[in-house]
Structure 1
Amino acid sequence: MNETRTRIVEEALHLVRIRGYASVSYADLERVVGIRKASIHHHFPSKTDLGVAMVQVYSAQFLSRLRSVGVRRAGIIGQLSFYAGLYREALERGEACLCGTLAAEVVPESISSRVAEFFAANVDWLAARFTEGVSLGEIASDVDPRRSAQAFLATVQGAALTARSLGDVEVFNAAIGATIRQLQPARERAEAGAS
């Protein structure tokens, strides 16, 4: 990706994560990037083309960060906390998850299919953590890894949306903390409650 194209995508990502896809226009990008709309159209003939590029860049960056977490880094609970931390970082900047934002809007199929791929990759990563966590005894033995991965993703997305709407990151922290505690074996939950 050339420098101008990269800058357009980065600025569009930021604006969409703050305002939503429908409320960002090429005129907004013209002001922020400092180039004419015709130049933006040269790189992205349609807003759909830009949307696809945004999801591709966002997904690659997000999933790269997930892969950077060592298999044993801070145990499974630490890895789940790291995952939630990616959303918390965005909240602290006033941004939402790009794919969560796009999933809440009516967007072209070429964008929504890539959003679905992003969520599927998240579920796969989380399910692998839950599977390993159950086998290591860090996650309760009655946890269904795939269903729990889907529920955890939904909880993180919903908690981020609620915290962003209320302007209170602690809402997110409380929801994620409670969810992670419920995933742990009973002995860990009891120890956490005693401290």
Structure 2
Amino acid sequence: MSSTRTRLLNEATRIVRRRGYTGFSYADLAGAVEIRKPSIHHHFPTKADLGLEMVIAYTAAFLSRLWAAEKSGAGAVELLEFYAGLYREGLSEGLACLCGTLAAESEAVPVEVRGAVAGFFAANFDWLTRQIEQGAAAGELSAAADPRRAGQGFLALLQGAVFTARALDDPSLFDAVAASAIEGLRT
């Protein structure tokens, strides 16, 4: 991937994580990366193309970090704390999860981008379900009647905590909710 394309993708992701999909334009991106709008269209002909590439890259990077953490041999609680830490990244700069931001605007997001966002969440649910099942088997976590639902609830709590912490400009609120959610899975 060219360095210009990478810079565009990274900057667009940062803008969307802060302002949302409908809150940015190619003019904003051109100004941030200091290139002309036609140059952006060369790399990403449409905003939908850019949105899809953002989600694909974000998902790949996010999942790569999860799989690496999982292979580290860490226990379930430590992995859930790591997971929560991924959601917290950027919060002090006003950045939320890219896919959470896009999901909040689902009616304004192109269908192919919505599909990729759904894929992000499905992969997260799978990963969380596995950690909760393994944590219960190891005695670290309580045996949830439905580990998938427990994982979905955990993710929903983190997403809500990100947006609430942003609204109140208080990242410590996210920390408290994440810690409470993990403790809830332990008992």
TM-score by length of 2: 0.95
How many matched pairs?
A: 185
Q: Taking structure 1 as reference, are residues 142 and 61 closer, same or farther at Cα in structure 2, changes over 3 Å only?
A: closer
TM-score by length of 1: 0.91
Which of 155, 161, 168 is the equivalent residue of 1:159? 161
How much does 1:42 deviate? Answer: 1.0
Tell me if structure 2 keeps the 8 A contact 1:11–1:32.
yes
Tell me if structure 2 keeps the 8 A contact 1:140–1:183.
yes
- Aligned counterparts of 1:99 and 1:48: Cα–Cα separation in 2: 14
- Aligned counterparts of 2:94 and 2:173: Cα–Cα separation in 1: 14
- Identity percentage over the alignment? 54
Q: Indicate the larger mover: 65-74 or 104-113.
A: 65-74
Say whether 1:51 aligns with 2:40: no
What is the 5 A alignment of 1:118-137? 118-137=120-139
Which of structures 1 and 2 has the larger relative contact order (alpha carbons within 8 angstroms, sep 6+)?
2
Say whether 1:91 aligns with 2:84: no
- Aligned counterparts of 1:80 and 1:99: Cα–Cα separation in 2: 19
What corresponds to 1:27 in structure 2? 27
SS of aligned partner of 2:142: coil
What corresponds to 2:140 in structure 1? 138
- Aligned counterparts of 1:143 and 1:167: Cα–Cα separation in 2: 36
What corresponds to 2:175 in structure 1? 173
- Aligned counterparts of 2:158 and 2:96: Cα–Cα separation in 1: 11
What corresponds to 2:64 in structure 1? 64
- Aligned counterparts of 1:77 and 1:23: Cα–Cα separation in 2: 36
Q: Taking structure 1 as reference, are residues 33 and 137 closer, same or farther at Cα in structure 2, changes over 3 Å only?
A: same
- Aligned counterparts of 2:72 and 2:46: Cα–Cα separation in 1: 43
Which stretches in structure 1 are left out of the alignment for 5+ residues? 186-195
Structure ID, larger Rg: 1
- Aligned counterparts of 2:65 and 2:25: Cα–Cα separation in 1: 29
Q: Taking structure 1 as reference, are residues 71 and 134 closer, same or farther at Cα in structure 2, changes over 3 Å only?
A: farther
Tell me if structure 1 keeps the 8 A contact 2:136–2:142.
yes
How much does 1:101 deviate? Answer: 0.4
Tell me if structure 2 keeps the 8 A contact 1:134–1:143.
no
Task: For 2:113, give the aligned amino acid.
Answer: I
Task: For 2:3, give the aligned amino acid.
Answer: E
- Aligned counterparts of 1:172 and 1:179: Cα–Cα separation in 2: 10
Offset from partner CA, 1:19-72 (integer Å, 9 cap, x none): 111010000111111111011111111100000011011111111111110446
SS of aligned partner of 2:94: coil
The ranges of structure 1 where at least 4 consecutive aligned residues each deviate by more than 4 angstroms after the TM superposition are: none
Which stretches in structure 2 are left out of the alignment for 5+ residues? none
What corresponds to 1:191 in structure 2? none
- Aligned counterparts of 1:93 and 1:85: Cα–Cα separation in 2: 14
What corresponds to 1:80 in structure 2? 80
